[in-house]
Amino acid sequence: MLKGLKIRFEIHNILFSVYKFNKTLNNSSIKKKINKQKTEDISFLYNVTLNSMRFHLHCIKIIKKYIKKKLRDHEKILLISAITQIVFLDFKEYAVINCSVEMAKKLKLYPGLINASLKKIAKNKNDLKEIKINFSDFQSWFQKKTHSLSNIEKKQFLNYFYKEPDIHIVFKNEAKLSKFKDNLIRTSKVSGFLLDKKDIQNKKSFIDGDWWVQDFSSFLPLYNFQDKNNKKFLDACAAPGGKSFQILSKKHDVVLNDINKTRIGTLKDNLKRLQFNARILNKDFNKFNGKDKYDIIIIDAPCSAVGTIRKNPEILFKKDGPNFSELISLQENMLNKASILLNKNGYIIYMVCSFLKVETVDQVDKFLKKNFNFIKADFKLIENKDHYLKLIKNNCMITIPNMILNCNIDGYFAAYLKKIK
C-alpha cells in the first residue's frame, strides 16, 4: 500500500460525510474514526481536513478551470482534498497524485482524469495560489443571508474567512498575566493573543489553571459589562465555560446551565483545572419553572455559528445551510424565557457567534417591540482603544471574521437588554 494512502482515505470519507450528509467534525461517528488513528496521523488528518474545507471554494474554481465535465460528489471531494494539499499546503506533488489515483481506482471513478488534471494543476500551482473568491461563489443560502452586509464588510470577510484562527487567552487576574513568560499581544489587562500556538495544553501555566482559551469577540461583552457587583448571574448555555469563568474570576455568584451532557462534562473538567466552584445545571433553559430569579442572564444562544467559520469551516462546506427557522424560533424562545426569569433592573446579555442580521439585530429589535419593559442599554467601553471602538455599532457589538492587532477574531454579536419595569 502507498504510504499515506490509508489516512487519505479516512480524510476523504470524513469530508464526504460532512459534504453529503451534513455531519460535523464533532459527530460521534466521525470522532471515532479520528480517535482510531495513530497519534502522528491525527495532526495530518486535521490539517488536510480543515484546510480542504477552508479552501474548498478556491478548489472548486480551480476544478472548473481545468475540468469541464460534470463531476460526481466523490470525484469533487477527492479533487478538493488533493488540490488543497498540492496548491495550498505545498505537499509533495507525486505523493498526493499517486494516492489520489489509487483512491480513484478503489472508488471506481476515472483515475485517468484525476491523474491528468492534478498534474496540470501541480504545474501551475504558484499562479493558482492567487485565485480569488467572490461572494457569488458562496452557496445561495449564504448569499441571501448576507445581502445586508456593506461592500466593505464583504471585502473584509473575503479577506479573512479561510485563514486559520489565532489563539486568544484570558487570565484569572492581572497578577497571573504579569507572571506569564510567553510572547503575548495584549488585548486588555487580563487577556491577549498567544503567539506560540504549539502544545498549549502542555504549558505549565495552562495546567495550573492560570488562564483559558476564549476568542476575543466572545471575551469582550462580559469584560466590558460594568454593572456586575452583588448580582446573581445565570449563564443559560454555559459550556465550555469561557464567559462563566470571566464572572467566576471576579468572585460573583453564577449558576451554570447547559442542555448538553457531553458539554457539561467539558465544563466540569475546565472548572476543575481552573479551580473554580459553581452550581451546575443540566436543563433545557426554555423549561425553567421561573421560581428562581436572576439579576443578569447570559444567553449565548444556539445559532448558525457562521462567525466561527475559521474554526468550523464545515459550515460553508456542507451542501445545505443551517435550519434558520428552527434556530430563530429557539433564540426567540430563550429571550422570552429570560425576560420572565429576570429581576427588575436586571440585564439580558444576548450573544451569538454570528453576524447575520436575522440572528442579531433583527432578533433584538423584535424582542424590544414585543417587550416594552425592556430597553437596549448602552454598550459603554471600559477601554476606549481603537480595536474596541470599531466593533461597536448602533449600541451593540458586532464583528465579522476580521483582524485586530494583526490577529484574527471571530464574527460575533452582543447586546445588553435592560428590564426597566
The answer to whether the CB of 49 falls within 8 A of the CB of 15 is yes
Q: Tell me what the pLDDT averaged over the chain comes to.
A: 93
Tell me the β-bridge partners of 319. none
The answer to whether the CB of 326 falls within 8 A of the CB of 320 is no
The owner of cell 484574527 is 408
Which DSSP letter does residue 274 get? H
For residue 182, the one-letter residue type is D
3-state secondary structure of 342: strand
Sorted by where each starts, the structural domains of the chain and their CATH numbers stand as 5-132 (1.10.940.10), 217-419 (3.40.50.150)
Of 30-34, 79-83, 242-246, 254-258, which gets the smallest average pLDDT? 30-34
Concatenating the DSSP letter of every residue in 59-70 gives HHHHHHHH--SP
pLDDT tens digits for 190-238? 999 999 888 899 999 999 999 999 999 999 999 999 876 778 999 999 9
Mean local confidence (pLDDT), 33-46: 86
Tell me the β-bridge partners of 114. none
pLDDT at 1 (0 to 100)? 59
The answer to whether the CB of 318 falls within 8 A of the CB of 22 is yes
- What element of type H or E holds 267? helix 261-274
Mean local confidence (pLDDT), 146-173: 92
Q: What share of the chain is helix, strand, coil (3-state, %, to 5)?
A: 50, 15, 35
Instruction: List C-alpha distances in Å: 202 to 46, 199, 209, 350, 368.
Output: 19, 5, 12, 34, 46
Mean local confidence (pLDDT), 144-168: 91
pLDDT at 168 (0 to 100)? 96
Q: How far is Cα 74 from Cα 113, in angstroms, rounded to an integer?
A: 13
For residue 386, count other CB atoms closer than 10 A to its CB: 8
- The dihedral sign for the CA sequence 54, 56, 59, 65: negative
pLDDT at 64 (0 to 100)? 95
Q: How far is Cα 100 from Cα 308, in angstroms, rounded to an integer?
A: 30
pLDDT at 28 (0 to 100)? 72
Mean local confidence (pLDDT), 164-182: 94
Q: How far is Cα 82 from Cα 341, in angstroms, rounded to an integer?
A: 53
Mean local confidence (pLDDT), 327-351: 97
3-state secondary structure of 340: helix
pLDDT band (50, 70, 90) for residue 371: very high
- What element of type H or E holds 47? helix 39-54
Burial of residue 332 (number of CB atoms within 10 Å: 0-12, 13-18, 19+): middle
